[in-house]
A = this chain, B = another copy of it.
């Protein structure tokens, strides 16, 4: 069987036109409801199309129109628990607007990300969502100067004229600190990773601001580095505890859960003896065994918003710029 023969199963406008003794343009117009056609012709074309199982060929449409109704999304790692609902937010909103989504993982590896970008650009996606991108400001500027609209998420951008959507990390850190202080905590440790970059720094700064607002100071010894993992959280918590901390604000829930494991092993009663507050509100955190008090990042909303912004960007000819900070919120459970 030759590749060409598949037209048996994949009828084109031409096939419909031939079957009906009409011209392709008439068929095209009928199918796209454009121009004036006799209702009779329209009806016959529509029923014939249905009968033959016609599906428009978006490849051809795209070549013609320069629109692919496809967006590319680069995500560090879909198996990271914060990303599935983010991805779902993008997917749902895209589908609702007639778009499809190409997802590629970068693993925070700059070369992988560049390869992903080239691949997406070759596929002529209409727009891009770059999540936690490692691209330099220079590269982002260059991308901006091309004709393709894109949105950056989870990384605030100093470069002008680049749209982004991110959670307000500073505010999140602030309300976390505020809450712990209100609960009477005096020696709050921050555990985070040196490698988690700007978001971690923002959360820490917000936290420090909250502490200082209460005329307290943050003990630099209690700002502790660790791996962004359960084990890393465990070790960092151990260190914080040894240094006399009475509570922990963790960079993210994964580390907070590690800290919680340490507190359990230590036989500490939460939130009586000790308090732990995380950041993210991943699915895990709500489990009955964990019940982590945390700062929720509405990831589904962030994904949905990112697509909406991109959609606006793709639709308008003028180049607008959106800078959106999503407010995180405190979720009080059992650990603080």
Contacts and interface: CB of A to CB of B under 8 A. Distances in A.
Given A124-B58, A146-B9, A289-B289, A88 B79 contact: yes
Contact of A230 (B9, B121, B287): B287
Interface in A283-315: 283-284, 287-290
A14 to B, nearest CB: 14
A63 B12 CA distance: 13
A28 interface: no
Contact of A59 (B3, B79, B124): B124
Contacts of A105: 88, 91-92
A119 B100 contact: yes
Contacts of A78: 78, 84, 87-88, 91
A180 interface: no
A132 B57 CA distance: 27
A63 B66 contact: no
Interface residues of A, number: 57
Contacts of A88: 77-79, 105
Contacts of A95: 104, 119
Counting chain B CB atoms within 10 Å of each CB, which of A6, A119, A257 scores highest?
Answer: A119
A18 interface: no
The quantity of this chain's copies bound in the complex is 2
Counting chain B CB atoms within 10 Å of each CB, which of A68, A79, A88, A147 scores highest?
Answer: A79
Contact of A63 (B1, B59, B121): B59
A229 to B, nearest CB: 12
B283 A264 contact: no
Given A81-B283, A103-B91, A283-B81, A288 B317 contact: no
Given A77-B88, A88-B77, A101 B100 contact: no
Contacts of A102: 70, 100-102
Interface in A66-86: 66, 68, 70, 77-79, 81, 83-85
Nearest to A95: B104
Nearest to A257: B287
A277 B77 CA distance: 29
Nearest to A146: B9
9 contacts: A57-B63, A58-B122, A58-B123, A87-B103, A91-B105, A100-B120, A257-B287, A260-B289, A264-B288
Given A57-B122, A78-B87, 8 more contacts: A55-B121, A58-B123, A59-B62, A79-B88, A88-B105, A100-B104, A230-B288, A260-B289
